[in-house]
Structures are given as structure tokens and as C-alpha cells.
Amino acid sequence: MAIQIQNLDLEEQEQLDQIKHFWNRWGNLITWVLIVVLGSYAAWNGWQYWQRRQAAQASMLYTELERAASAGDASRIERSLADMKDRYGGTWYAAEGSLVAAKALADKGQMAPAKEALTWAADKSSDEGLRAIARLRLASLQMGDKAYDEAAKTLAPSFPPAFTALAADRRGDLLMLQGKRAEAATEYGKAYQGLGAEGGDYRRLVGIKLNALGIDPDAGAKPAGAAS
């Protein structure tokens, strides 16, 4: 029995020696790997918490902005939007709030701050859809002010696929305002084809614009006597 116990002690000592050798060789590396992994996990949780907190606070300001827009209070709209952009500019609420503010300000005849809000959303939003909407609305305001060169610059860069037909229609409107009927017809044609059958009333409106230029949109006829 004593020999068996001694053998067990020797085996345990050998295992301990192997563990010590392994730890002496790899212990520091394992420790640092654990620190990095656990630190990354803690940082990720902290980031998620911060993001949720930012979104919750931004949503409160967004609600205040909506109330100001409903009341038509231009000064409150601008103040709420400025706070949102300064404190929560990276959130969806800031970009969407800019669109809400721009519409309310434009309805009040405050075109300069309305265009400023749309320009900010078009440049700063992390959502490509909101950026595209902001550009389309900004171009409309610029056309309303007869700032045709500015509108052309706003519409010149490419749009996401979901907005290419809308952008073509807006370019057609701009070209019509400039008296460039042939070029406008081309853009309207792109819009009509891009909208497809699911375009519904919007596509029918583009078709009416083409008809006014002497074009059957479904037949693809050339405009009769169109000149640029």
C-alpha cells in the first residue's frame, strides 16, 4: 500500500511539474489574451449601453422637435434641432429631425434655415436613405428659389438604387425650368422606366409630364419638335 501511495505522489508531482512548466512558458500570453478578451467584452457592453442611452435621450429631443414643428414655432424648432445635432448628431433622430424641421421651417417661409437643415442631413446622416431624401428635398427648395445651378449640383452625385427614379424625375423638373425640353424628356423617361408598374400614381404623373412633351411613355416615341 505504501508503494502505491508513493507512486501516486510521484505521478501527482510529475503532473504538477508539467503544469508549472506549461504555465511558465505560456502563462503570460494566456493572461494577456484573457485581459484583451474580457476587456473587449466589457468595452462592447459599455458601447451598447452608451448607444442605447444616446438613442433614448435623442428620442426625447426628437419628440420636443415634433411638438415645436406641430406648433409652427420656428425658434423652438431651430433650438431643438441645434441641440440634437450638437449632442446626438450621430443618431438617426438627428437626421430625421432635420427633415421634420426643414419641412416645418419651409412651411413658415423660413427657407434659409430649412435649406441649412437639409444640407446638414444630406452631408452628415449615416443613413443613405435619409441622405437621399434630404438631397431631393433640398433640390426642390433650390429650384423654388430659382437657384438652378445649386440644384443641379445637389442632384448630380449618384443616388442609391431605390431613389434613382425619383432623382431622374427631379432632374427632369429642373431641366424643364431651364427650358431644356429634350434633356428633360430623357430624365422623365428614365424615371418612368425606373418606377415600373409598382410606381402607381407617381409613375402616372411622370407619364403625364412625358405626354405634355409629346411622348407616349409606353411606346417610347420621340418628342415632337422638342428643342433644348
How sure is the predictor about 220, in pLDDT bands with cuts at 50, 70 and 90? Answer: low
Residue 59 reports pLDDT greater than 50: yes
How confident is the model over 133-145, as pLDDT tens digits?
A: 999 999 999 999 9
Q: Cα 212 to the chain's mean position, in Å?
A: 35
pLDDT at 63: 87
Classify 200 in phi/psi space as left (phi over 0), alpha (psi -120 to 50) or beta: left
- Comparing 40 with 202, the larger pLDDT belongs to 202
How confident is the model over 120-171, as pLDDT tens digits?
A: 999 999 899 999 999 999 999 999 999 999 999 999 999 999 999 999 999 9
Q: Tell me which residue of 140, 118, 141 sits closest to 130, measured CA to CA.
A: 118
pLDDT at 223: 45
pLDDT at 178: 95
How sure is the predictor about 84, in pLDDT bands with cuts at 50, 70 and 90? Answer: confident
Lowest mean pLDDT among 38-52, 54-68, 106-120, 196-210: 38-52
Under 8 Å between Cβ of 187 and 175: yes
- Comparing 26 with 66, the larger pLDDT belongs to 66
Under 8 Å between Cβ of 214 and 226: yes
How confident is the model over 183-213, as pLDDT tens digits?
A: 999 999 999 999 988 888 999 999 999 999 9
Question: What is the architecture of the domain spanning 55-147?
Answer: Alpha Horseshoe (1.25)
Q: What is the average per-residue pLDDT within 56-77? A: 86
Residue 42 reports pLDDT greater than 50: no
Best mean pLDDT range from 38-47, 65-74, 90-99, 173-182: 173-182
| Cell numbers for 79 | 433650438
**3-state percent breakdown (helix, strand, coil) of the chain, nearest 5:** 80, 0, 20
Q: What is the average per-residue pLDDT within 2-24? A: 61
* Domain spans in the chain, listed from the N-terminal domain onward: 55-147, 158-228
Q: Cα–Cα–Cα angle for 35, 41, 42, nearest 5°?
A: 85
Indicate the burial class of 226 (C-beta count within 10 angstroms; 0-12, 13-18, 19 or more).
middle
Q: What is the average per-residue pLDDT within 108-113? A: 93
Name the average pLDDT for the chain: 82
Counting residues of the chain whose pLDDT is more than 70, the rounded percentage is: 72
pLDDT at 105: 94
Q: What is the average per-residue pLDDT within 220-226? A: 45
Secondary structure (3-state) at 210: helix
Provide the whole-model pTM. Answer: 0.72
